[in-house]
Structure 1
Amino acid sequence: MMVPPPTAPAAAPLAQASVDSGEIVYTVAGNQRPDDPVTITYADETGALRTSENVSLPWRMTVIPTVPVNYVTASSSGSQLNCWITDARGVTVAAQTDNTISATCNR
Structure 2
Amino acid sequence: MTTSAHEGSTTLDLSRKGAWVAHAALVRSGREATEAGETQPVERRLLEKIEDDEPFDAAELSALRDALVSYLGDAPVRDRAPGRDVLRTVTAAIGRASGV
Both structures adopt the same fold (TM-score exceeding 0.5): no
Identify which of structures 1 and 2 has the higher relative contact order when contacts are C-alpha pairs closer than 8 Å and 6+ apart: 2
Larger fraction in helix: 2
Larger fraction in strand: 1
TM category, shorter: 0.3 to 0.5
TM-score by length of 2: 0.32
TM-score by length of 1: 0.31
Higher Cα radius of gyration:
1
